[in-house]
């Protein structure tokens, strides 16, 4: 698990986005307003993190998964939760034919896993088990907290940059640098935020495959999802854009998302990594 050092990458990316925040605050406001925006960011993070399950479920118009109607989901999640030694999350189904799934919630005791009707129709039980293992590991790895912190810091950076564009900021020291930072910092913050999201997807793939003991099942599911999402993409509304990083596959059409700003790694790379896990460590000849 974590053989690609994704935890270290995430820590480095979070450190990078925090350093960018300090640079922006120093160049634009001389540090005068940094703590004000930092407090706003902390407040936004706390609200989003605390209510993440409700916000995402509402965005997808999901309804509780009745055990009688969806026994397969309940059986798989109960088994995997028990295997991981973690509480079983609440289960939901979203009434959309776009195939996808996501997990949300501030911790394992207050978590939810949601599948769309489209993914339930597309995958067989083995593939669905791989997907649900992936989603459970997002919860157990506290990925919602990581993404909330990254998003809040990125938001503070954007707010500082906007303040500089409208009110001038502290440009007397180095006006060219201040203007450049005001223009480029929000883009850089978004790039780092998306990189963190992609790294957490790799981790959930690896850890989920370890939990199920079947990397090829998840690889097969991702292959089907790659084609299924392109046949039935979601429209990139504001609510769905805010929840898209939680989903196992980018829910939007490929033409709407560049690689640099994508919340998900390329499917082909994810599938290759999982196939490598199934082969196991290569023995020297």
**Catalytically annotated residues:** 135
| Three-class SS state of 64 | strand
**Burial track 61-79 (b if 16+ CB lie within 10 A, e otherwise):** ebeebeeeebeebbebbee
Quick one: DSSP state of residue 3? Answer: T
Residue 214 · residue 126 · CB < 8 Å: yes
Torsion of CA 253, 257, 260, 261, to 10 degrees: -120
Beta bridge partners of 4: none
The two tokens of residue 214 are 């079947």
Task: Return contacts of 265-268, CB within 8 angstroms, 24+ apart.
Answer: 265/198, 265/201, 265/202, 267/222, 267/223, 267/225, 267/226
**What are the DSSP E strand ranges found in 34-193?**
63-64, 90-94, 101-107, 110-116
Residue 102 φ then ψ, to 5°:
-155, 160
Residue with the two structure tokens 């007397």: 172
């Amino acid at each position: 698990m974590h053989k690609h050092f994704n935890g270290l990458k995430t820590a480095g990316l979070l450190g990078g986005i925090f350093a960018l925040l300090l640079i922006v605050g120093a160049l634009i406001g001389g540090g005068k307003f940094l703590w004000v925006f930092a407090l706003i960011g902390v407040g936004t993070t706390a609200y989003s993190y605390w209510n993440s399950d409700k916000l995402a479920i509402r965005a997808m118009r999901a309804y509780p998964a009745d055990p009688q109607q969806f026994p397969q989901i309940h059986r798989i999640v109960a088994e995997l939760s028990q295997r991981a030694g973690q509480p079983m999350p609440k289960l939901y189904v979203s009434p959309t034919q776009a195939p996808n799934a996501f997990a949300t919630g501030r911790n394992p005791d207050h978590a939810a896993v949601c599948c769309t009707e489209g993914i339930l129709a597309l995958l067989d039980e083995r593939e669905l088990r791989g997907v649900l293992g992936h989603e459970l590991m997002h919860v157990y790895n506290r990925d919602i907290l990581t993404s909330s912190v990254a998003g809040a810091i990125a938001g503070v950076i954007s707010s500082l940059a906007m303040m500089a564009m409208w009110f001038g900021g502290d440009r007397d020291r180095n006006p060219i640098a201040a203007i450049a930072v005001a223009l480029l910092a929000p883009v850089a913050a978004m790039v780092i935020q998306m990189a963190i999201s992609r790294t957490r997807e790799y981790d959930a793939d690896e850890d989920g495959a370890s939990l199920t003991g079947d990397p090829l099942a998840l690889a097969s599911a991702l292959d089907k999802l790659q084609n299924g999402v392109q046949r039935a993409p979601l429209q990139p509304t504001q609510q769905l854009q805010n929840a898209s990083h939680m989903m196992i596959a980018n829910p939007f059409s490929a033409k709407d998302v560049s690689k640099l700003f994508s919340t998900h790694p390329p499917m082909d790379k994810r599938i290759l990594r999982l196939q490598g896990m199934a082969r196991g460590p290569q023995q020297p000849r």
